[in-house]
Structure 1
Amino acid sequence: MNAVVVAVLVMLILSLVRVNVVLALIIGGLVGGVTGGLTLNETIEVFSGGLGGSAEVALSYALLGGFAIALSKTGLPNLLVEGVLGIVHKNGDSTRKKYSKALIVVAILAMACLSQNLIPIHIAFIPILIPSLLKLMNELKIDRRLIASVLTFGLTAPYILLPVGFGKIFQDIIATNMADSGMVVNSSDIPIAMLIPTAGLVAGLLFAIFVSYRKDRGYETKEMEALEQGTRSKRGIVFALISIVGALVVQLLLDSMIFGALAGILILYVSGSIKWKEADELLTEGMKMMAFIGFVMLSAFGFAEVLKETGHVDSLVQQAARLIGGSQSLAALLMLVVGLLVTMGIGSSFSTIPIIATIFVPLAMELGFSPIATIALVGTAAALGDAGSPASDSTLGPTAGLNVDGGHNHIWDTCVPTFLHYNIPLIIFGWIAAMVL
């Protein structure tokens, strides 16, 4: 039995039966390592060795959580939603509520999309904006599964398609690794190749909005002490805005979320927008809010390291190749399914491209796929790791914002909806792209 298949299935099954994702990743990694021929001690050693690779990510999210809580104390997030609250409370008729729902969905979608390209802050905006909107969303009875789907779409579709911001990084990685694997491609062809797979994401988003989650869903509104509005002043709001700009500038200049978040926090404290005596408590609360992401990312890196060490990723592809028998249509489908298994476990499209390209490119060349079709296969297979994976920051980010009050489950309210609405269309539309390009 292939260790990758076993490890991913164990991890997913445990997650679906509500075993904590961190435990599911650890147990899945151990089972996968032993299945792949490693001893238990070797598996533990490899898993532990892989944890160090995510230390920077975990610290980044912890500081972003502290920055989010500090911003909430200035009253800025509350100010952003008061206008919409005024519209809803002024006249509670159903038509106005529909407009308010649409406004919230469109605003969150726009922010998520911009976070990948124009303002490349990735998930940093989620713990700042989403918790402050929860009370309003509860009043409007917006299904949080819809918001999770909207956020995940905005965190994935733009970088897959557009060669700007994170999209440029993603597409550069594709071009570089395909060239290293023997197929030189034109970077300008990558957006064209990814257009059809992205259309699958759009179809999934529209289905989520207008079919799956269009009905009202009630939630219990709970008071969240960490997110209570602070004493608001014009000066505090001004410095809150300055801190956001400062955090973004530092992040872009130093290419570090850690120092970006640190810069934002320091601006708020030095300006007096946040009291020094509250600093320790605020940072602790913020780190608690984002701790879940940090621990999952730590476990995911260890899990991925075990899968790589077994060498069963290569054997998985070889087994699939033996089933193909020269059929391009079957080859495209099996390559995408293999990509799904690999990336669901690792949870990062950027990290899995080198693994997938090394294996898929020679196979695609042997079967006669065109360069642009091969791009579609590699890009789509990598993207499958973002939507639906319990270990992806594109699902962990939405959960961190939507579950601040304990009303949103990571697996059933984020991962399952995003898997159904995005991974299934990605496989279908990715297969179509490979066949027609």
Structure 2
Amino acid sequence: MKNITIYCFRNDLRLFDNPAFLKATIESDVLLPLFCHPNNHLIYKGIQRIGIHRQTFLRQALNQLRSHLRSLNSDLLEVNGNICEEIKKISEAIDATKIIFEKIVSPEELDEEISIRSIGISVETVWQSSMIDLKDLPFELENMPDIFTEFRKLIELKKIITQAPTSLPKKLPPLPEKNIKFNSNFNFSKGIRYKYSSFPYLEEQFNGGEKNALSHLENYLLQKLPHTYKETRNQLFGIHFSTKFSPWLSIGCISAKYIAFKLKEFEDKFGANESSYWIWFELLWRDYFKFLHFKYGKNLYLKNGLNKNARIINHNDDKFDIWIRGKTGNNLINAGMRELFCTGYLSNRMRQIVASYLIYDLDCDWRRGAQWFESQLVDYDVYSNHGNWLYIAGNGTDPRGGRKFNTTKQNLEHDPNNLYKELWLEHSINVSQI
């Protein structure tokens, strides 16, 4: 009996250093690569859950993935709808014996996995989205330290060696013999080009896709930018002030492990400093938010998160509206919200500032802000987005409570000459279509 496998791509749109996909190629006689488009329902007053920026970047990445698969005499089947129903129909049509996909532990994706397992054929999942492998952790996940600093110190104490990437498959098993329509003509809204975007995903070098992700990493290291990252990371706009790895990481065009591996190579060759360490430090924060989902799961999505003594919130949709439209009484906030809407990107510093303003100055529900970021950010990642909003709101694991930013102080420190505000407030930016 032939092993007929469906490989369902999720947030791992790459072939290089993809252990789950490599496993599928090794264990299968017949292999069908599949991508099921996520449900793009409306979240607020006609706003789509997946906005134009992420739609465009995802489409670019899928096109590149399909081209790569075709170069290996395979293809990518795209479907739209309920993932369980679609996989059930496909598995019956091709007599599939196994389904393989990467493990995602956020609530909706876990529910999807449970539904897929109910189909009745073998299901295997592989955890592969973190920099640190689960087997290398110096603690069981249910016992991981809640406080990031304690978590980091235990990780550093173990001195984990960054693993070399898994190989790129040189040959893929054949596609099913059954007649399958490989259709990529899905409707999506295309983003608009903005000259001053800090992540101009419509420019070819910043397109979604594995090839672009690997090229960007190589160029970033060639310019020796890791040596200055910590000094520039809090700037508000520009291409090179931060790594810009996050959009490609968010949908798995590149792995965090491979970035860490190449960063270590860079440090061995050109020397390590506090800035290069800080890139690893930020990747570790990303892991921390992932691992918290193993420990706390759906509790992270409650109104008060993990905080039993959370402040009372009097959410007001009118206040939320002026925030998303960039029409508050604060020009720094307005500039940030307009940049986000127009380009799908915000610096880490501005993300914290606008989040704090929504929570503490406008007294709105942090979960609504997290939803808006999910809709707008080109680099949306469920773990990091949710973790950072919990952190600012004081409903996560930090015993110090939330983070209220003084916008006057932030203005003086990060935009003293008003360059950022002028960039997004004085140009013709149309946010009226929200």
TM-score > 0.5, shorter chain as reference = no
Higher helix fraction (1 or 2): 1
TM-score, normalised with respect to structure 2:
0.30
Structure with larger RCO (C-alpha < 8 A, sep 6+)? 1
TM-score (norm 1): 0.29
Q: More strand per residue: 1 or 2?
A: 2
